[in-house]
A and B are shown apart, each in its own frame.
Chain A
Amino acid sequence: VFMLSLQTTGLVGLAVAENPHERLRILYTKILGVLQNIPKDAAYRKYTEQIVTERFDLVKKETDVQKLQDKLNSGQIEEVIVQAENELSLARKMVQWKPWEPLVEEPPSDQWRWPI
Chain B
Amino acid sequence: TVRPKNEVEHKQLCAFGEYVAEILPKYIQQVQVTCFNELELLIHPDGIIPVLTFLRDHTNAQFKSLADLTAVDVPSRQYRFEIVYNLLSLRFNSRIRVKTYTDELTPVDSAVPVHQAANWYEREVWDMYGVFFANHPDLRRILTDYGFEGHPFRKDFPLSGYVEV
Chain A residues with CB below 8 A from B29, complex form: 103, 106-107, 112
Partner pick for A99 among B26, B30, B57, CB 8 A cutoff: B26
Q: Complex Cα distance A105/B25, Å?
A: 11
Say if the beta carbon of B107 comes within 8 Å of chain A: no
Q: Give the Cβ gap from B83 to chain A, nearest Cβ, in Å.
A: 13
Q: Are B26 and A98 in contact (CB under 8 A)?
A: yes
Q: Are B44 and A107 in contact (CB under 8 A)?
A: yes
Q: Are A108 and B50 in contact (CB under 8 A)?
A: no
Say if the beta carbon of B46 comes within 8 Å of chain A: yes
Number of interface residues of A (CB under 8 A): 30
Q: Are B57 and A97 in contact (CB under 8 A)?
A: no
Say if the beta carbon of B74 comes within 8 Å of chain A: yes
Say if the beta carbon of B77 comes within 8 Å of chain A: yes
* Given A83-B62, A90-B57, CB of A47 within 8 Å of CB of B26: no
* Given A47-B19, A83-B62, A89-B57, CB of A103 within 8 Å of CB of B25: yes
Q: Give the Cβ gap from A102 to chain B, nearest Cβ, in Å.
A: 6
Q: Are B26 and A86 in contact (CB under 8 A)?
A: no
Q: Give the Cβ gap from B97 to chain A, nearest Cβ, in Å.
A: 13
Say if the beta carbon of B5 comes within 8 Å of chain A: no
Say if the beta carbon of A78 comes within 8 Å of chain B: no
Number of interface residues of B (CB under 8 A): 31
| Closest B residue to A47 using CB positions | B23
| Closest A residue to B58 using CB positions | A90
Say if the beta carbon of B126 comes within 8 Å of chain A: no
Q: Are B25 and A102 in contact (CB under 8 A)?
A: yes
Over the window 92-116 of chain A, the binary record of Cβ atoms lying under 8 Å from chain B Cβ atoms (1 yes, 0 no) is 0110011111111111101110001
Chain A residues with CB below 8 A from B62, complex form: 83
Q: Give the Cβ gap from B18 to chain A, nearest Cβ, in Å.
A: 10
Within A46-85, which residues are at the interface with B (CB < 8 Å)?
47-48, 51, 74-75, 83
Q: Are A99 and B42 in contact (CB under 8 A)?
A: no
Chain B residues with CB below 8 A from A51, complex form: 59-60
Most chain B CB inside 10 Å of its own CB: which residue of A51, A105, A107:
A107
A-B contact pairs, 19 of them (CB 8 A): A43-B22, A44-B23, A74-B91, A83-B59, A90-B57, A97-B50, A99-B24, A99-B26, A99-B27, A99-B50, A100-B25, A104-B27, A104-B44, A107-B29, A108-B77, A110-B78, A111-B101, A112-B42, A116-B74
